[in-house]
Structure 1
Amino acid sequence: MTADQTAPEPRLTSLSHGGGCGCKIAPAVLSEILRETAPMMLPEELLVGRENADDAAVYRLNDSQALVATTDFFMPIVDDPHDFGRIAATNAISDIYAMGARPIMALALVGMPVNVLSRQTIGRILDGGQAAAQAAGIPVVGGHSIDSVEVIYGLVALGLVHPDLVKKNASARPGDLLIQGKPLGAGVYSAALKKDALSAEGYARMIALTTQLNTPGPELAELPGVHALTDVTGFGLAGHLLEMVRGSGCSARLDWAQVPFLAEARALAEAGHITGASGRNWMSYGSEVFLADGFSEVDRGLLTDPQTSGGLLVSCAPDARDDVLALFAAHGFADACVIGEVLEPSESPRVILA
């Protein structure tokens, strides 16, 4: 019997050992792997490479245009094929917005167990990805596919930005405020979903959050007071903030009480729905995080929770605060808020929980 006959198909999430950005290689392991790779000759036109673990590569084309290139793909975080495709594509396009660029086109990366899933199911995954790309105003113009044991889908995304408006993750300044665009907790929600412990309302909220394009990025880049941008994905809030402060040579203070979360995130985390990636994240960078008194294991799980298609994290001058929040609000990001500040330069950058 083939996958295109009437036998029931397995849940998408049952075909992968991890899901969403929780599939990422742990930060410390990835750093070790990259350190062992041979150095490369880099052209002077390369404005952003891999030196600060930024969201995308940026290559200057001319005085007014730079090409932004990124790729992102993962295994299913949900069982609905169309939703999975939308989430994966939205997540990939996010890295373009996080550099302050506007997306222009994408290529699909497709790995499918073709003897397990029907052509109809695979087609719905691709349709979901195309729907997200269409919402971003770009075409999916090709790609590459393989017959894979696990379900894998994502995009190569390309964008354009003025070279002077590129927003790196490593240009935060002392005194900057930190603004988070989306609430956290997607990893906890996905862990609960795999155990049938997520409510229908929680699922709908997770889908809405993970398919919301980070469209404020290009307009944020045009604000003079915005100094650094990144998006919070698989390494959790602490991990991506650490990438920002390491590159900027500063530390940061997080006001934990102000960090926005999905409504059921804490209760689900307290019930044990914390991903394995959260623990791997903490093992990778926990020594660089100073926890406040009374900070629980649940809090630590939420701090390191891997986000799939997470929100933008902005470092901006205090006098740009109102403009940044107004931009987020205009794009439908009602939970955007100030969550901390960048501290003075430090030889050993840290994230400090207050």
Structure 2
Amino acid sequence: MSTDAAPRLTRFAHGGGCACKIPPGELEQLVAGLAGAAPSGSRHELLVGLEHGDDAAAVRLDGGTAVILTSDFFTPVVDDPYDWGRIAAANALSDVYAMGGIPLVAINLLGWPRDVLPMELATEVLRGGLDIARQAECHLAGGHSIDDPEPKYGLAVTGTAPERDLLRIEAGRPGLPLSLTKPLGVGVLNNRHKATGERFAQAIDVMTTLNRDASRAAVAAGIRCATDVTGFGLLGHAYKLARASGVTVRIDPAAVPYVEGAREAVRDGFVSGGTTRNLKWVTDHVEWCSVAEEQRLLLADAQTSGGLLVAGEVPGARIIGELLPPGTNALVVG
């Protein structure tokens, strides 16, 4: 079957991409108290768990190697099934890159309304994921699928890193610059795409670009603190970094790069519910300095497969602020 005549996948999703995440405040309440002691008889130490909201879990193996484990899946963010597969795979792999690791093997996670959408479209989704995994030099082998009224796709990924090279969200220190490796704004463009059917190649290019090179550059530069920017927006992830590291994050909104068309999309009202929830969550922790509402929304825009937010200077990345000693607010914007 030709995908040119296929139904629009975004019409089968209540949200899109990382904008359909459970809101950050609700999620933190959900997992509060779930971090427990190591299981009896465990030979391997849990290096990274639930404590600070890092992007993945990490366990120490013998010889100073850390195993990194993550999973990520979401509803369609674009209508083209192949592009959706690529975006979802790049997004899942990003959690490993955000911790300074190298992905080794992944498995598919697929939910599909088999009586509603053609299975040929599901094949295209999986093909997109496979092509991104090949680009990442990561094995993609098998996985799990369910009959689901709403299509969903992603990966569970295992990677490794030398323990000394792990990038941690709580390792930020005052005096470090703050770098962003991809422009913002794919969230509002994806929301416009869902509403109008317009295709934004520039947003797809951003979302399908691996964070591999940025991660390697950060590790090579001796950087130890990073996270990726996804469903909680730049402000949400910066707030989590500030809170975990015990610093204040200052962001210069004039220095933040945006995808072409993003400003126009937010001006025209294509703002997801996830973005407005992000802004509401962080507002009490932000000192605003003459920042217009439209720019606040862009800074909170729910990203899908966004870039890395790095405490340090990364070649090719945009410096958008700095880390300061702890103050009254976790974030200063302006």
TM-score range, shorter chain: over 0.9
CA contact (8 A) 2:286 2:329 kept: no
Q: Which residue does 2:97 correspond to in 1? A: 97
Cα shift at 1:92: 0.1
Question: Residues 148-192 of structure 1: CA distance to partner in whole angstroms, max 9, x if unpaired?
Answer: 000000000111100111110111110000010000000010011
**Aligned match of 2:298:** 302
Structure-2 residue corresponding to 1:11 = 8
| SS across alignment from 1:310 | coil
CA-to-aligned-CA distance 1:191-241 (integer Å, 9 cap, x gap) = 11112274x5xx1111111000001213412322x1311110000000001
Aligned length: 328
Assess if the C-alpha contact under 8 Å between 1:249 and 1:349 holds in 2: no
Alignment map for 1:313-352 (pairs within 5 Å): 313-316=309-312, 321=313, 324-325=314-315, 328=316, 336-346=317-327, 349-352=329-332
- State yes or no: 1:208 paired with 2:188: no
C-alpha distance 247-39 of structure 1, shift in aligned 2 (>3 A) = closer
Q: 2: distance between equivalents of 1:55 and 1:71?
A: 10
Pair 1:115–1:170, CA change in 2 (3 A):
same
1:222 matched to 2:203? The reply is no
Paired residue secondary structure (1:345): coil
- Flag structure 2 segments of 5+ consecutive residues without an equivalent: none
- Quick check: 1:289 aligned with 2:286? yes
**Structure 1: gaps of 5 or more residues:** 329-335
Change in Cα spacing, 1:282 to 1:68, as seen in structure 2 (3 Å) is same
The residue aligned with 1:353 is 333
SS at 1:127 equivalent: helix
Q: Give me the identity figure in percent.
A: 41
1:85-131 residue CA offsets vs partner (Å, 9 max, x unmatched): 00000000001000000110101101000011112111000000001
Instruction: Indicate yes or no: 2:19 matched with 1:22.
Output: yes
Given that 1:236 and 1:307 are in contact with CA atoms closer than 8 Å, whether structure 2 keeps it comes out as yes
Is the counterpart of residue 81 in structure 1 residue 78 in structure 2? no
CA drift of 1:9 comes to 4.5
- TM-score if structure 1 supplies the norm length? 0.89
- Rate the CA distance shift 1:278–1:104 in 2: closer, same or farther, 3 A: same
1:271 equivalent in structure 2: 268
Q: So what's the TM-score if we normalise by structure 2?
A: 0.94
Residues 188, 271 of structure 2: 8 Å contact kept? yes
Secondary structure of 2:196 counterpart: coil
Q: Considering only aligned residues, what root-mean-square deviation do their CA atoms show, in Å?
A: 1.7
- The residue identity in structure 1 corresponding to 2:184 is L
Whole-Å Cα distance in 2 between the matches of residues 204 and 263 of structure 1?
A: 10
Name the SS for the 1:227 alignment partner: coil
Matched residue type, 2:285 = E
Structure 1 residues 265-295: Cα deviation after superposition (integer angstroms, max 9, x where no partner): 11111111111111111222211112112x2
What letter matches 2:123 in structure 1?
G
